[in-house]
Structure 1
Amino acid sequence: MPKASETVLEIDLNALANNYRYITSKIKSGTKVLAVVKAFGYGSDSVVIARELIDLGVDYFAVAYANEGETLRNASVATPILVLHPLPFNFEITVNRCLEPSIYSRKMLEEFIAFAEEKKQKNYPIHLKFNTGLNRLGFVENDVDFIVERLSKTESVKVKSAFSHLAASEDLKEKQFTLTQIEGFRRISEELILKLGYKPLLHCANTSGIINFPEAHFDMVRTGIGLYGFGNDKEENKHLKPVGTLKTVISQIHKIEKGESVGYNRGYIAENTTRSATLPIGHADGIPRSYGKGKGWVTINGEKAAILGNVCMDMIMVDVTNIACEEGDEAIVFGPSATADELSAAINSISYELITAVSQRVKRVVLRK
């Protein structure tokens, strides 16, 4: 891979292809694949990721909000796009750009039907979200009769899929809870299909569900974090490759004498003579202030350099006392060898938070096949 001469996020499409193929090797032939590309493609570039996944054969995309789907449509992505958290304010964008809303409450169903009727839509695809234990969004089992009764009075919409979301599929200590969720979704789906009179697509497995619960694959599976190289399990991570590598460079090296301080609020005071390196990346780029003061590191020439003092908006300072390096050398924040899993654990966080926090001002560099 090329050496960085500025702060960049490299997006490795070979890694993405590897991850897609590994994940799809876990499902039976004919099962559809929905790729989650919300949050700028988990902090990378949703358009670049989507285009590559289309070439790999993906069936569906999911985004969180309508404007994310609009970005894909503006890039000529024609694949069906599920909007996981639509808001009435964005119904116009949703319909104009042929996005497919998740309908998760009685109020949302009434409002979207009214909008679709006003726009003279017929059989507009909607997706019914059922809450089976995550308790975030979703209808409950007792809503089925209301849903079917309301749908029977309109031709403006038609159910494309019914789905739920597993709360702890990566945690095998919660296996029984997950199995209860799966069975609950199966029961709701059977009732819904019987009363609707037709069968929509069914899906509830996320990345960890795909890996740990084959009985939850149904008609389609959803994969997000796995595509980007993280399987929520050390053994599974061996089969996956992180797509993003966040790199920066050493701007300046300082000699800090004993008793001198580094950074705002004198966040680090040298107990001995120290060499510090200043890097052009900070909390405005996605390195939160929860790092620093010994928490977190970057890798320089294969060695860990601890973050000194407080993270600044545009810079961090790291300890290179025992590292052979010079100004202009590359520093890796996270990537295949220094993973976001490891770095996020230093502040009791998760890879999702770290990789999705990478600022849009950081230059994206696509590594192609």
Structure 2
Amino acid sequence: YIYIGGQSAVLEIPFEGEHELENAIHCLAVMLLLGINQETIRQRMASLTLVGTRLEVIEGVNGCLLVHDNYTSDFNSLAPALDFMKRRITPDCKAMVIVSDLMHDADTDLEDLYRRMAELLAIAGVSRVIGIGPELMAHKGCFGPESEFFASTEEFLHKKSTSDFRGELILIKGAPEFGFGRICELLEARQHETVLEINLDAVVSNFNAFRSRIKPTTAIACMIKASGYGAGSHELARTLQAQGASYLAVAVHDEGADLRRAGITMPILVLNPTVENFHALFADRLEPEIYSFDFLRALIREAGRYGITDYPVHIKIDSGMHRLGFLKEDLPELIELLRSQDRVVPRSIFSHLCAADDPMEDDYTQQQFDYFDECCRMLLSAFPERKILRHILNSTGITRFPDHQLDMVRLGIGLYGVKTMHDGSQDDLRPVSSLNTVIISLKNWPEGTTIGYNRRGTLKRQSVIATIPVGYADGINRHLGYGNTSVMVNGIKCPTVGSICMDACMIDVTDVADVKVGDRVEIFGENIPVDDLAEVLGTIPYEVLTSVSQRVKRVYYRE
């Protein structure tokens, strides 16, 4: 490089990626502007290490929850990692940290650095600290009496076992050279090679994409029923609570109760509250959908038993789906019943569109809007003293019918990055879930060889066949075998071969250069849209997402 016409100089950086090169050039320009000499620049650039950027949340052993921070381990990165962890603390789960020596400049006052680190951990409510590295060993006096210290990761792994960790929220944060990935592997609850990765940044992006389509005064209820459409509800709920969603919606009482146990405090709507234990519904502050007189009367009766008044409920109107809800002719009796008591009060009135994504059915959709509007006017006029929210739009409705957003909208499949419209109107959505596995075996077979059960797969050429550890017990439908779908390996689409087995399936990787055992395989995600699998199966993406088995490890991450 040459700076302002001076003499040329040379530096080396240990990276080849385009983004890393661009960042290095920015840093070089700043250091030259600040007058730092060329030799210092050369030394510092050569000592750079690649920085990871992922924060992962993983189910741990013995009821633990792991937050694995793959970012650089310096003091400035500790605070955001602790903030991310604190959002997941529950009353029955203590917070602890496994941390390495911090990265720092050569002239740093180490006593002051680790004293500030200890103060930051204490403020974050961390009850237990495990420090790894010679610097932490030398400054262990800065930390509390429950803290433990080890000279190296190897010493920690030798002296500690999974039985030393139980019911804790554990932040694992180490500089790259300490190899903390081995600690994470030790403490993970599942060691299955097949993983459903959930990108929480994509959840935020999709939430904001739909929020940009509505007025600032319109509330958003986020659907996380069926365990967040297979992605897992707890982390999604925490993320949406932090983003400012107005409501979460679940299918049944148990789903809402689990969210309360996980520390979710925001309002939760239960869409199918066929519960016997009304006390649990009240205790967890779960707001039920009311779709029949029988259920409403039972709820009022039980609320009286427990001395409850003004409990919020949500009135379901059947405007055309013909599944659940009150009809317009039911409303006079419903209003009379609601006004005759003070145990429950209407918090919202809502209905469900049945064909919002089909332009050929727009006349019917408009009839639903008109029918619902009439019902809303009847209910709202009967309760002029009360603010009752109106909502009818789903993900597709938000996109196609913004004039009917009313007081609240319900964001479902769009939150997970699955497009319901393919006309470009939802191209800003990002896939949230990706199902990935690895190659565990490679074999070369001649033309004519049969692969799998009942010899259903016959090779038409000399082929390289890989076995991957994912099958119908993991949620891979057997109809996806026989070449009916492809997976992605190193940027190449590879068709399935033969039958899908219970725990494995075979794929043709002949066209993948330098393929090897351990290579990553995408079943669906960024490159293989879940819509493609749904189309092969003649179903909808909802079914594919919710079919992923609970034995498949879920990993949540943010960049």
Q: Which amino acid in 1 is paired with 2:209?
A: Y
Distance in 1 (alpha carbons) for counterparts of 2:243 and 2:284: 24
Q: Which amino acid in 2 is paired with 1:33?
A: I
Distance in 1 (alpha carbons) for counterparts of 2:445 and 2:412: 44
Distance in 1 (alpha carbons) for counterparts of 2:452 and 2:284: 48
CA RMSD of aligned residues (A): 1.7
Larger-gyration structure (1/2): 2
Q: How far off its partner does 1:52 sit?
A: 0.9
**Residue 301 (str. 1) matches residue 490 (str. 2):** yes
| 1:74 paired residue number | 261
Relative to 1, partners in 2 of residues 1:267 and 1:89: Cα closer, same or farther, differing over 3 Å? Answer: farther
Q: Report if aligned partners of 2:192, 2:553 keep a CA contact under 8 Å in 1.
A: no
Distance in 2 (alpha carbons) for counterparts of 1:293 and 1:155: 61
**Residue 292 (str. 1) matches residue 476 (str. 2):** no
Gap regions ≥5 residues in structure 2: 1-52, 55-190
Normalised TM-score (structure 1): 0.95
Q: Which has the higher contact order (CA 8 A, sep 6+)?
A: 1
| 2:550 paired residue number | 360
Q: How far off its partner does 1:78 sit?
A: 0.5
Gap regions ≥5 residues in structure 1: none
Q: Which amino acid in 2 is paired with 1:152?
A: R
Q: Report if aligned partners of 1:242, 1:335 keep a CA contact under 8 Å in 2.
A: yes
**CA-to-aligned-CA distance 1:261-314 (integer Å, 9 cap, x gap):** 222222212343332211111111111112111211211111111111221111
Percent identical pairs in the alignment equals: 40
Relative to 1, partners in 2 of residues 1:260 and 1:93: Cα closer, same or farther, differing over 3 Å? Answer: farther
What is the aligned residue count?
368
Distance in 1 (alpha carbons) for counterparts of 2:381 and 2:228: 37
Q: How far off its partner does 1:220 sit?
A: 0.5
Distance in 1 (alpha carbons) for counterparts of 2:276 and 2:486: 42
| 1:121 paired residue number | 308
Q: Which amino acid in 2 is paired with 1:10?
A: E
Distance in 2 (alpha carbons) for counterparts of 1:274 and 1:219: 59
1:101-112 correspondence to structure 2 within 5 Å: 101-112=288-299
Relative to 1, partners in 2 of residues 1:89 and 1:289: Cα closer, same or farther, differing over 3 Å? Answer: farther
Distance in 2 (alpha carbons) for counterparts of 1:236 and 1:48: 28
Distance in 2 (alpha carbons) for counterparts of 1:339 and 1:311: 20
Which range moves more in the overlay, 77-86 or 322-331? Answer: 322-331
Q: Which amino acid in 2 is paired with 1:181?
A: Q
| 1:341 paired residue number | 531
1:184-195 correspondence to structure 2 within 5 Å: 184-195=371-382
Distance in 1 (alpha carbons) for counterparts of 2:387 and 2:244: 24
**CA-to-aligned-CA distance 1:225-261 (integer Å, 9 cap, x gap):** 1111123112134200001111100011123334432
Relative to 1, partners in 2 of residues 1:5 and 1:359: Cα closer, same or farther, differing over 3 Å? Answer: closer
**Residue 231 (str. 1) matches residue 419 (str. 2):** yes
Return structure 1 stretches of 4+ with deviation > 6 angstroms.
Answer: none
Distance in 2 (alpha carbons) for counterparts of 1:5 and 1:188: 51
**Residue 138 (str. 1) matches residue 325 (str. 2):** yes
Secondary structure at 1:299 match in 2: strand
Secondary structure at 1:245 match in 2: strand
Distance in 2 (alpha carbons) for counterparts of 1:29 and 1:326: 51
The counterpart of 1:87, out of the listed 274, 287, 296, is 274
Distance in 2 (alpha carbons) for counterparts of 1:38 and 1:103: 17
1:26-41 correspondence to structure 2 within 5 Å: 26-41=213-228
| 1:242 paired residue number | 431
Q: Report if aligned partners of 1:5, 1:249 keep a CA contact under 8 Å in 2.
A: no
**Residue 100 (str. 1) matches residue 287 (str. 2):** yes
Relative to 1, partners in 2 of residues 1:295 and 1:237: Cα closer, same or farther, differing over 3 Å? Answer: farther
Which range moves more in the overlay, 179-188 or 251-260? Answer: 251-260
